[in-house]
Structure 1
Amino acid sequence: MSEEPTGDPVDEEPLEVRVDQDLCTGDGICVQYAPSVFEFDIDGLAYVKGPDGDLRTAPDAHVDVPAHLRLDVLDAARDCPGECIHVRRRSDGVEVAGPAAAVPAA
């Protein structure tokens, strides 16, 4: 079952995600939302992992967001208590979810 596009550019553009370990509180919300994208390392902090399942532990490491996990990754970024998950458009690097994301006008 595929979802219909909403017209929101975030629904259509490829995204990438990273975790800022300096802000990670280890709550695990991200791992609950998208365990194939996020995982804890031995230090108790969350990291992103690639399609090969390997953790990306280098500073500022990012991975592409699989299309079928887009909403889970966006929700993880929005619900993260440490505000350490950054989701940005691959095309221009603009953050669409996370602490630096633009807040829509009410």
Structure 2
Amino acid sequence: MHTKTHSLIANVLVGDNPLATPLNISISPDEKFAYITNFGFSSQPGKTVSVIDTKTHVVIATVSVEDNPSTIAFTPDSKIAYILNTGNSNFPGNTVFVK
């Protein structure tokens, strides 16, 4: 969304699981990429993070992670992302995925 005009710039499809939904968005400190966690349900957990180029508004990568990624934190130089996985009833969420 354009913050001055409040108009839609792009509509970007994320994730690779039809039952997964985008949960959180994090912008890398260098502001080049937006990272979206794709969250699901116990029967079909989300297992990906979508990476969007902030200039082109295009998904440039869909990264496989553990069940139900929820939040992302970055190192100040944007080189490493830490992804918290909340898991599901069959796989407890006790992992942090490092990319």
Give the number of the structure whose residues are more often helix, by fraction: 1
TM-score by length of 2: 0.25
Higher relative contact order (CA 8 A, sep 6+): 1
Give the number of the structure whose residues are more often strand, by fraction: 2
TM-score by length of 1: 0.24
**Bigger Rg, structure 1 or 2:** 2
